[in-house]
Structure 1
Amino acid sequence: MKKNISLKKITITLHIVIWSVILLLPYIVSSAANGYRIGSLPGLFFTISGVIHMAIFYIHALVLYPRLWNRRYWWLYFPAVFLLVFLSFPLKYAIMLHWFPDVVRDLAAYKFVFGPSVGIYIISLVYCRVTDMLRAERRQKEQQAEQLSSELKFLRSQVSPHFLFNVLTNLVSLARKKSDQLEPALLMLSDLMRYMLYDTGKKVLLSQEILYLNSYIALQKLRFGSEVAINVKMATSEAAGNYTIEPMLLIPFVENAFKHGTGYTPHPAIDIQLVMKGDVLIFEVLNEYDNDPNASKDENSGIGLANVKTRLQLLYPERHQLQIRDEPPLFHITLTLKLT
């Protein structure tokens, strides 16, 4: 809204400046010694004609074009334009006859007197058409932005239930084992839920996302203990700097590793690494898995990865590279992401 108001003010200011220069042109480029003439036209007559041309421009641009062009009564547009331009001729002639009779006798000057009326109409028409095109392009961009925003909201709404489903599955496992780690796991889940509810409506600091990842990994360590070799290397807060990132963008890769890299191999191991090279984030997750199709976990497999791929395409076009190497029994993802 503020952007539109600012653009409108700039447009009005530009119109005022252009017409001021046109109306005052004789007094800018000429001198009193020759009556501020522009060619054979007296300066005052040039300025009065400029006012008439301004009227033609705005009557067409603000009244005739928006009300008749491409409207129900479009056929009235042409006679209305003809009448608008034609009426300027006797008006100019009357002004010349009463106040500038020397111009009346100069027949060579007539083309500079009457021709501009037609030229101003053409300029006004071009202005209207270009303005229409710019408005249509702006509306299209606004619609695309709204569509993008709606799609992102939908994708973000998918992330939380999918994440919660996986975490609750982990807690069920701890409960079945009657593990003493269930209480700290629930407290950790509470912190994760707080982050999901209050901090994921917009981009977050990379350091926050790293903290969130570490909390999730800690939750998994509580669940699996020494059963799974979990190797983690995360960038420090200093390396993360003040860069921002789409929230919960990296977690689906980690979820996927724990979901498919545990319980189906004799010695499960998961490697997670996040490093920063300047403003470029490099995130790698490696895990082993069972390629047996009968070992598929559940019908929800792949929701997280499909979601994050779509969000990357929407939010980081031309700024990311996602490599997924599926070479049984290894599954290896590498995400390279340029941050701001």
Structure 2
Amino acid sequence: MFRDKLQSDRLVSEKQTENLKTELAFLRSQVSPHFMFNVLNNMVTLARKKSDQLEPSLFKLSSLLRYMLYETDEEKVLLEREVEYLQSYIDLQLQRFGSKVKVNLVMEDYDKNCFIEPMLLIPFVENAFKHGTGFRQNSEINIELKAKTNLLDFRVSNYYDNSIAQVKDKTSGIGLQNVKRRLDLLYKNEHTLTIENKDNFFTVTLQLNLH
């Protein structure tokens, strides 16, 4: 009878683990198709203009897709790879927006041997581009990343117009609720997420204990 109880508990645990993996895979997969369409449309324009920017853009998109398709199945990835993905994403967005958007990117020396849940940081940056552009003639997005002794400090801020943003929210891609759920599943009691909307500036700060 005791053996049956152990086997039953093991089966329940395995089922819970499988359900967790399934949910995480689903949450990771929700990359905004709107962004992909915009990137591809921009590349069509570059091709028509026979622009020299087309080839490097294709390489960046290829790198971005390779990471999404082949590396995000891992439970954890090197922080360096996540940062490279962020950089490719930002570069493609800047090519699309041109001088209309300025990104102030500060990445201090970080431990490249740290591991992190894949696709965890991109929603904050995607959210900044989605809701922080189009309100001003020259929009600005500020991104800071620090990682020392297994402690990650990540901050993203952008100008935010509440009256216009309410319309944009209806077509949001990866949402902050997605990130909150993943943080609760994987980093429960090991993270602090602060979201502040003050003086029309939206700031997200994530502090995370990396394993």
1:229 matched to 2:98? The reply is no
Corresponding residue for residue 18 of structure 2: 146
The CA deviation string for residues 167-208 of structure 1, in whole angstroms up to 9 with x for no partner, is 332443565586633443233111111111111111211111
1:278-297 aligned at under 5 Å gives the runs: 278-293=149-164, 296-297=167-168
Take 2:160 and 2:142, find their aligned partners in 1: how far apart are those partners? 13
**TM-score, normalised to structure 2's length?**
0.87
Residue pairs, 1:315-326, within 5 angstroms: 315-326=186-197
Give, in whole Å, the separation in 1 of the partners of 2:59 and 2:173: 28
| Runs of 4+, deviation exceeding 6 Å | none
Q: Is the 8 A contact 1:171 1:182 kept in 2?
A: no
Q: Aligned pair 1:194/2:70, yes or no?
A: no
Unaligned stretches of 5+ in structure 1?
Answer: 1-127
Note closer, same or farther for the CA distance 1:323–1:296 as it changes in structure 2 (3 Å cut).
same
Decide whether the 8 Å contact of 2:183 with 2:191 is kept in 1.
yes
Work out which structure has the larger RCO, using CA pairs closer than 8 Å and 6 or more positions apart in sequence. Answer: 2
Distance 1:329 1:223, change over 3 A: same
How many aligned residue pairs are there?
Answer: 207
How far apart, CA to CA, are the structure 2 residues paired with 1:153 and 1:299?
A: 24
Task: State the Cα distance separating 1:153 from its structure 2 match.
Answer: 1.8
Deviates more, 1:281-290 or 1:305-314: 305-314
Aligned with 2:30: secondary structure?
helix
| TM-score normalized with structure 1 length | 0.56
Alignment of 1:265 with 2:136, yes or no, is yes
Q: Distance in 2 between matches of 1:140 and 1:170?
A: 44
* 1:228 positional shift: 1.6
Larger Rg: 1
Equivalent pair of 1:265/1:290 in contact (CA under 8 Å): no
1:304-329 deviation digits (Å, cap 9, x = unpaired):
32222211111111111111112251
Partner of 1:100: none
| 1:146 Cα offset (Å) | 1.3
Deviation at 1:139, TM superposition (A): 2.5
- Match in the other structure for 1:167: 36
Corresponding letter in the other structure for 2:182:
R
Question: Secondary structure of 2:185's partner?
Answer: helix
Q: CA RMSD in A?
A: 2.3
User: Displacement of 1:150 after TM fit?
Assistant: 1.4
| Structure 2 CA distance for aligned equivalents of residues 282 and 311 of structure 1 | 17
Q: How does 1:124-135 map to 2 (within 5 A)?
A: 128=1, 130-135=2-7
> 1:243 Cα deviation (Å)?
1.3
Give the Cα–Cα distance (whole angstroms) in 1 for the partners of residues 41 and 173 of structure 2.
21
How far, CA to CA, are the matches of 2:165 and 2:200 in structure 1? 15
